[in-house]
Structure 1
């Protein structure tokens, strides 16, 4: 049986109502290793929960180097692969978001890429997190939209998003990821988050377009369990630290109450 530390952490947070932050790192966007090390040491002091690594189009072979760098600095923050395709797999991460793009109809991203990487996963010690990935219209064509050749869910149609999530739940998926995409003009709407949260008993990850603290607060208030900060942190690391401080205080208040 594979180690379940990441799964245990996500589920314990979920059951106890604690909120979590994931820092999404795209290997192709890390130009300077020294800068990354400095950033990593900063967020380490602010109670970062998870690090996601990947993207829709990762051209470099830097994923393994980034994971090794992270592990040199901190072995307590789980490193989770957020792969755009099977070629981005490396067995050195702690876990993988095994993403099925249930909002689209492209078989490659529903099951095709999964078949390719499954034998490698079976031989690894990596935790597999079966995740229903749902792309939501963020007001601009994103990389995942283009690469996957799928149509995003309407951001103003919570009933469609809910029906999609319910189907994924009935198929046995254990986690759900609502993503407006990197560089989205608007994040996933509160109405969609609320609709899914009201009927799906599973940890809910939300990302894309969350470039202010107020937007992060809105996502959490609507029902997000894990918020993903990627593009916003690339442009302004202080956003990530500000969000981490907010979540830390929020979770402390749960313990007090």
Structure 2
């Protein structure tokens, strides 16, 4: 078993919680600011987003390697062009919460021949956009509307469909800069339905919101813009993770 899938499955089965940092390849990173990351207890680094090309992606991965230590790096692709053999793996996303075929299968078909000849770990992932109705950059880029936090029956149906299609991982996304994250109720219904490793991101800009996501069933939470603005916030959230895992006696 490769290391990213091993990480996610261990988190899901054990109840231990994990933290990922999502890095936007369009933004410059100063390695000196993040040299402490490698020994911080961070579980995973995601690289990607709605913008950026393969050259920017590779430049960013190269920069991250300077301070990441043994932390695995996984591509979070915004398009079929965001592929690089410099990473350890790729979330092979299908936007199952929307009806735009471009992000259900077309981008994936474009990427597949390039992935065939790389040694990347490929993680088939159901990607669901879920919030309180905010329209953010991810919705504009994908030309899809979010599922509302209150639409629990719809979330259950979509998640089960993804499970029955064979998707191994699920990612609930409120969107970068979301005022409200994915609700605990939405997280609970998806986790209970799929019984698969569950990633949750977007709008998690306080330790209280992170705790609520963990309590609801998130196995791995994703932090993005907040870390670039305030690296100290990551340290705070990592303390929450450590406390949570110690509380469960599974640190």
TM-score, normalised to structure 1, is 0.92
Asked if 1:82 is matched to 2:67, the reply is: no
Pair 1:135–1:256, CA change in 2 (3 A): closer
- The structure 1 residue matched to 2:8, chosen from 10, 29, 33, is 10
Consecutive unaligned residues of structure 2, counting only runs of 5 or more, are none
Structure 1 or 2: larger helix share?
1
* Contact 2:17–2:219 (Cα < 8 Å) also in 1: yes
Deviation at residue 106 of structure 1 after TM alignment: 0.6
Deviations 1:54-82 (A, max 9, x none): 01122583211221222233341010000
The aligned residue for residue 187 of structure 1 is: 181
Q: Report the secondary structure of 2:126's partner residue.
A: strand
Q: 1:1-257 counterparts in 2 under 5 A?
A: 4-30=2-28, 33=29, 36-58=30-52, 61-255=55-249
Mapped partners of 1:91, 1:13: distance in 2:
25
Output one character per residue of 1:172-197: Cα deviation in whole Å (capped at 9) or x when no partner.
Answer: 00000000000111000111001111
SS of the residue corresponding to residue 148 of structure 2 reads: coil
Check whether the contact 2:44–2:73 (CA below 8 A) recurs between aligned residues.
yes
User: How many residues matched?
Assistant: 251
- Contact 1:91–1:125 (CA under 8 A) maintained in structure 2: yes
Q: CA RMSD in A?
A: 1.7
In 2, Cα distance between equivalents of 1:121 and 1:213: 37
SS in 2 for 1:87: coil
Measure, in 2, the Cα distance between the counterparts of 1:156 and 1:43.
36
Relative to the length of structure 2, the TM-score reads 0.95
Q: What CA distance in whole angstroms lies between the structure 2 residues aligned with 1:73 and 1:26?
A: 16
Cα deviation for residue 16 of structure 1 reads 1.1
- Kept in 2, the 8 Å contact 1:138–1:181? The answer is no
Classify 1:10/1:255 alpha carbon distance in 2 versus 1 (closer, same or farther; 3 Å). same
Q: CA offset at residue 159 of structure 1? A: 1.3
